[in-house]
């Protein structure tokens, strides 16, 4: 074969590939009346509990819809999210889309993986529905639909509540030194400043930190409160040091601490104020139905990952019902834009960029019977827009 022929062949292959990509971008095929949803969440490693929890919620939502939406059957395919190596997650997502035929991706859980697969999914025209937040930059002209709100706004009500309801003037903050930690806690800090407060200290905990003593002793004790978010086990370790040292500065915890860790350390959190995205005690009919259905099937109390996988599953079914199972980003954006969604955390909606706004609940740690609970105190509506 001559060089010219080789070049021609290469150009032809590239042109066909480009054509395929373009067609994927323009229309959302349903492959003979079937929509394939790919769930990307960890099932191995230190975050292995996320995957099964998300699968429970998503399967519950799809089962309620009888695994159908918009006249198409829904098939669920699960993929293990590699939390340490984003390139591995990207390869698995490529297989999910190209071999398993996923039309919609739910997940991943971790922001680094969302960033890693966003460009590919956008190029393929495959929508990515996040369950536990995400960077706003992944929506808009990219293919993400972000639930329950963009990271930069999701914790904002905690700052507002600290200034307006608790009357605090000066706070310190504590969060992990990576994108989600900065975005979430800066959102709360900015809201606090907007309400007239002053942020006098911000401590960022580097990834891999195992010892929290330095951050407890390093706190500026002149502040009115410490606004913090850490992953549950780190938060529990920090609170243990905090209590041992006898520090009296009130804690305001974004997310609080989830079960089962909360049940192990709840005695040290009595009266602590938090901000929940999901809470199983929320008094909405949809939440009561969900918690009952969960208990009937899995015998227990659902956590946030399960709850939001369930909600995102419901949102997808709603959109597919409205757009006759068209899975393209454009059709799903149009179907969800401004639509009032009756969710387990109350009324919610997506905007035209695919970013959700939903309720946040101020909570207080308390013991109810034999369990520690985050008791709802106040609701902030439409957080995120």
Give the three-class secondary structure for 345: coil
* Closer by beta carbon to other proteins, 8 or else 46: 46
Burial category of 201 from C-beta neighbours within 10 Å (exposed 0-12, middle 13-18, buried 19 and up): middle
* Closer by beta carbon to other proteins, 103 or else 234: 234
| Nearest distance from C-beta of residue 260 to other proteins, angstroms | 6
Cβ-defined contacts of 294-302 (< 8 Å, 24+): 294/56, 294/60, 297/56, 297/60, 298/56, 301/259, 302/56, 302/57
DSSP code, position 150: B
Binding site for other proteins (CB under 8 A): 44-49, 177, 203-204, 206-211, 213-215, 217-218, 232-233, 236-237, 240-241, 243-246, 260-261, 264-265
CA 251 vs. chain centroid, Å, equals 23
CA distances from 26 to 22, 187, 290, 327, 357 (A): 6, 35, 35, 10, 27
d(CA 177, CA 159): 19
| Nearest distance from C-beta of residue 198 to other proteins, angstroms | 20
| Nearest distance from C-beta of residue 203 to other proteins, angstroms | 7
| Nearest distance from C-beta of residue 321 to other proteins, angstroms | 35
* Closer by beta carbon to other proteins, 240 or else 378: 240
**Encoding tokens for residue 198?**
């002053």
d(CA 146, CA 353): 9
Nearest CA-CA partner of 61 in 311, 324, 326, 344 = 311
Contact 378, 361 (CB under 8 A): yes
* Closer by beta carbon to other proteins, 145 or else 180: 180
| Nearest distance from C-beta of residue 308 to other proteins, angstroms | 18
Torsion, Cα of 215, 221, 224, 226 (10° steps):
0
| Nearest distance from C-beta of residue 178 to other proteins, angstroms | 11
Nearest CA-CA partner of 348 in 206, 200, 164, 147 = 147
* Closer by beta carbon to other proteins, 51 or else 148: 51
| Nearest distance from C-beta of residue 217 to other proteins, angstroms | 5
* Closer by beta carbon to other proteins, 157 or else 181: 181
Torsion, Cα of 274, 277, 278, 283 (10° steps):
80
| Nearest distance from C-beta of residue 6 to other proteins, angstroms | 43
* Closer by beta carbon to other proteins, 203 or else 361: 203
d(CA 307, CA 86): 25
| Nearest distance from C-beta of residue 124 to other proteins, angstroms | 31
Q: What is the gyration radius of the CA atoms in the chain, in angstroms?
A: 22
* Closer by beta carbon to other proteins, 53 or else 314: 53
Residue carrying structure tokens 């891999």: 208
Contact 383, 156 (CB under 8 A): yes
| Nearest distance from C-beta of residue 266 to other proteins, angstroms | 11
* Closer by beta carbon to other proteins, 64 or else 241: 241
* Closer by beta carbon to other proteins, 182 or else 360: 182
């Amino acid at each position: 074969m001559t060089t010219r022929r080789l070049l021609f062949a290469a150009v032809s292959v590239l042109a066909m590939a480009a054509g395929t990509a373009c067609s994927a971008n323009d229309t959302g095929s349903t492959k003979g009346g079937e929509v394939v949803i790919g769930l990307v969440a960890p099932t191995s490693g230190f975050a292995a509990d996320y995957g099964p929890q998300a699968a429970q919620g998503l399967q519950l939502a799809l089962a309620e819809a009888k695994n159908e939406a918009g006249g198409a059957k829904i098939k669920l395919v699960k993929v293990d999210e590699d939390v340490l190596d984003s390139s591995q997650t990207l390869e698995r997502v490529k297989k999910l889309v190209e071999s398993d035929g996923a039309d919609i991706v739910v997940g991943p859980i971790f922001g680094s993986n969302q960033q890693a697969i966003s460009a590919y999914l956008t190029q393929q025209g495959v929508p990515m529905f996040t369950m536990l937040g995400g960077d706003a930059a992944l929506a808009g002209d990219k293919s993400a639909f972000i639930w329950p709100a963009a990271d930069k706004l999701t914790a904002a009500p905690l700052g507002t509540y600290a200034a307006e309801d608790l009357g605090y003037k000066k706070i310190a903050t504590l969060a992990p030194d990576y994108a989600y930690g900065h975005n979430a806690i800066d959102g709360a800090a900015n809201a606090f400043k907007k309400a007239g407060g002053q942020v006098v200290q911000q401590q960022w905990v580097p990834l891999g930190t195992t010892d929290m003593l330095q951050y407890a002793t390093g706190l500026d004790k002149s502040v009115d409160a410490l606004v913090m978010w850490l992953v549950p086990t780190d938060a529990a370790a920090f609170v243990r040091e905090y209590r041992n040292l006898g520090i009296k500065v009130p804690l305001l915890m974004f997310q609080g601490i989830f079960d089962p860790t909360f049940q192990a350390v709840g005695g040290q959190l009595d009266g602590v104020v938090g901000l929940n995205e999901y809470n199983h005690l929320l008094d909405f009919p949809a939440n009561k139905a969900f918690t009952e259905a969960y208990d009937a099937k899995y015998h227990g109390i659902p956590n946030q990952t399960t709850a939001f996988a369930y909600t995102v599953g419901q949102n997808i079914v709603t959109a597919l019902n409205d757009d006759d199972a068209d899975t393209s980003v454009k059709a799903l954006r149009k179907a969800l834009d401004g639509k009032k969604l009756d969710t387990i955390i109350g009324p919610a909606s997506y905007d035209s960029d695919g970013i959700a706004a939903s309720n946040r609940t101020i909570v207080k740690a308390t013991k109810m019977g034999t369990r520690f609970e985050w008791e709802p105190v106040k609701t902030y509506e439409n957080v995120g827009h």
